[in-house]
C-alpha cells in the first residue's frame, strides 16, 4: 500500500484513535482509505448520500436505518473519527487482561453492540421499541415471505415474550435479556483483515 505513510500524516490524533477503537495502525489507515473513497466531495466529511452509494447498504432492507445510525442527533455529516468509532463497535471482542475494574467499557463490548442493534428498531429514540417499530423492522426483513396476519402474530408474540414489565414495548434492558443467549460476537462482528 503506497499511500500508507501519507495516510498516517493525514490522520489527526492517530494514537488516540488507536487507543479508543482498538484498531491497529494498519487497520486505521485502511479504514481512512475507505473513508476517502466514500467522500465523493473530498470534504473530509461523509454525507448520507456517500453511504447510499455503498452497494451492500443499497440492497439491505435495513440499509436506511444502518445509515441513520451513523448520523445520530440529526447530524448531516460525519468526520473520520466518528466513522471509525462506529465501525469499532463491530470489531471482534478481545479480552483485555490489563483493564482494571474502573476502566471504561470497550467500544466493541457486547453492551455497545446491543445498543447499536437497539437503535435500529427504536426510531423515535424514546428508549423503547414499540409494537409499530418492531412491526416495521419485521416487515422490512420478512416482506415477501409472510402475510400481514402472520407478521402481526410474530410481532405480538415477540412483544409478549420480551416485554417483562407489561408496558407493551421493549426497553433496552428487556432487549438485552431477550438476546442474552444469542452469539453477538458472531452476528455483529466484522473480521478486519490483518
Coil, helix or strand for 167? coil
SS3 content of the chain, % helix, strand, coil (to 5): 55, 5, 40
CA distance 64 to 44: 22
Residues 78-132 pLDDT 10s: 999 999 999 998 888 766 656 666 777 888 888 999 999 999 999 899 999 999 9
Look up residue 177 and give its three cell numbers: 435479556
pLDDT tens digits for range 118-174: 999 998 999 999 999 999 999 998 877 889 899 999 999 999 999 999 999 999 999
Cβ pair 23, 108 in contact under 8 A: no
Q: Which of 139, 148, 174, 142 is nearest to 159 (CA)?
A: 174
Amino acid at each position: 500500500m503506497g499511500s500508507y505513510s501519507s495516510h498516517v500524516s493525514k490522520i489527526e490524533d492517530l494514537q488516540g484513535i488507536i487507543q479508543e477503537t482498538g484498531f491497529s495502525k494498519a487497520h486505521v489507515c485502511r479504514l481512512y482509505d475507505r473513508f476517502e473513497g466514500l467522500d465523493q466531495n473530498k470534504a473530509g466529511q461523509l454525507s448520507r448520500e456517500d453511504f447510499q452509494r455503498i452497494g451492500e447498504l443499497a440492497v439491505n432492507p435495513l440499509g436506511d436505518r444502518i445509515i441513520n445510525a451513523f448520523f445520530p442527533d440529526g447530524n448531516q455529516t460525519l468526520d473520520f473519527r466518528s466513522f471509525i468509532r462506529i465501525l469499532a463497535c463491530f470489531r471482534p471482542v478481545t479480552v483485555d487482561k490489563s483493564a482494571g475494574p474502573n476502566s471504561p467499557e470497550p467500544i466493541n463490548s457486547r453492551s455497545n453492540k446491543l445498543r447499536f442493534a437497539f437503535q435500529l428498531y427504536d426510531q423515535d429514540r424514546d428508549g423503547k421499541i414499540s409494537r409499530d417499530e418492531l412491526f416495521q423492522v419485521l416487515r422490512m426483513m420478512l416482506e415477501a415471505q409472510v402475510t400481514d396476519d402472520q407478521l402481526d402474530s410474530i410481532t405480538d408474540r415477540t412483544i409478549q415474550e420480551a416485554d417483562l414489565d407489561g408496558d407493551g414495548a421493549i426497553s433496552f434492558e428487556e432487549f438485552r435479556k431477550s438476546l442474552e443467549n444469542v452469539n453477538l460476537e458472531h452476528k455483529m462482528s466484522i473480521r478486519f483483515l490483518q
